Structure 1
Amino acid sequence: MKGLLFRPLGDEVTVWMDAPPSVVWDLVSDVTRIGEFSPETFEAKWTRGSTGPEVGAYFAGHVKRNGVGPTYWSPCRVTKCVPKEVFEFSVGTDSVTVNNWGYRLEEQDGGTAVTEYFRMEPSLPTRLYWTILGPLRSRTNVRGMRTTLERMKAVVES
């Protein structure tokens, strides 16, 4: 049981894009465009007076879980924001973070290796959830990240 509770609480997918980091950055850091790419988050908007990507900025993502439901708004806060390098945000309330999502950009072979990742917070409830549903949810997230990145690739390479 101990080994199950300490399995990695996240995963990542990398897709190479034939575009410079500056072009990819404009896409991954504009949360208002996520509905064009994500199979689960069909819209997002800046909230609490935030108007763009910077550490501490708030936004909300409108999610249709597994692409079928339930549908809900997820409050998010930008936690890392280094232009052309990393854009990361937490999902949860001001007092409880459930999950973290992000994009890492690395200039590579005349283009950009773009890595989307998620990392669950290592609380006991999250570890128990991950022990039971982690493999299924991780597969869903990996599939969704690949879809998101491939859709972004199609836009930046067009």
Structure 2
Amino acid sequence: MSATTSQHDLFEALDASAFAFTRRAWVDAAPARVYDLVSDVSAIGRWSPDATDVRFDQGAGPRVGAWFSGRNRRDGREWATRSQVVRADHGSVFAFVVGGAEDGIVRWNWTFHPQGRGTVVEQSWRLLRLDPVLGSTRGDLDALRDHMTNSVEATLISLAQWITED
């Protein structure tokens, strides 16, 4: 990288839209119920193949500005994350940014749309900026996006099954 080229410039050249996706699933529960399940971040380990031990900071909860911590696993590695809630509209949207609203690296967005007797749940992932922890090449970022796509699909399937069995 030259003195005149920043990681931000490289990211822009990569086209950030290539590092975002949304997946959907219908679940047999009302939007408010699904929102309550998803916004209770301590429950994410029930559905996510990657996230464990997620907890809001003491006294925090699913509201804008709240912080939580969690552990993630991928490719035999494990690491801790800090995330901040950036949107919390009960029954319709729950979103957070890994690394915080001001300088985060990934945004997770959940939306809940009523359909029939249930809800269409959308889970979106968007890379906000480059960070060495995510990889240093286009191939690294493509692999990360592909892994996260598979993880989200597994999470949505597990969430739908859990709701059906509960």
| TM-score between both structures, scaled by the size of structure 2 | 0.82
Looking at structure 1, the residues matched to 102 and 109 of structure 2 have their Cα atoms a distance apart, in angstroms, of 20
Looking at structure 2, the residues matched to 94 and 55 of structure 1 have their Cα atoms a distance apart, in angstroms, of 10
CA contact (8 A) 2:55 2:69 kept: yes
Looking at structure 2, the residues matched to 124 and 59 of structure 1 have their Cα atoms a distance apart, in angstroms, of 20
Give how far 1:65 is off. Answer: 2.2
* Pairs within 5 Å for 1:30-45: 30-45=40-55
Residue 74 (structure 2) pairs with residue 65 (structure 1): yes
Q: Flag the 1:93–1:28 CA change in 2: closer, same or farther, 3 A.
A: closer
Looking at structure 1, the residues matched to 26 and 69 of structure 2 have their Cα atoms a distance apart, in angstroms, of 28
* Pairs within 5 Å for 1:92-103: 92=99, 96-103=103-110
Give how far 1:77 is off. Answer: 0.4
CA contact (8 A) 1:85 1:104 kept: yes
Q: Runs of 5+ in structure 2 lacking a partner?
A: 1-9
CA contact (8 A) 1:86 1:105 kept: yes
Q: Runs of 5+ in structure 1 lacking a partner?
A: none
SS in 2 for 1:52: coil
Map Cα deviations across residues 39-78 of structure 1 (whole Å, 9 max, x no partner). 111120111x343100000000111124x21x11100000
What RMSD over aligned residues (CA atoms) do the two structures have, in Å? 2.6
Looking at structure 1, the residues matched to 144 and 136 of structure 2 have their Cα atoms a distance apart, in angstroms, of 10
Q: Corresponding residue for 1:54? A: 63
Q: How many residues align?
A: 155
Q: Corresponding residue for 2:32? A: 22
Pair member with larger Rg: 2
- Which of 134, 139, 143 is the equivalent residue of 1:136? 143
Looking at structure 2, the residues matched to 22 and 73 of structure 1 have their Cα atoms a distance apart, in angstroms, of 29
Give how far 1:127 is off. Answer: 10
Map Cα deviations across residues 108-154 of structure 1 (whole Å, 9 max, x no partner). 12210001111111459799847332322111111100111111111
CA contact (8 A) 1:98 1:126 kept: no
| TM-score between both structures, scaled by the size of structure 1 | 0.86
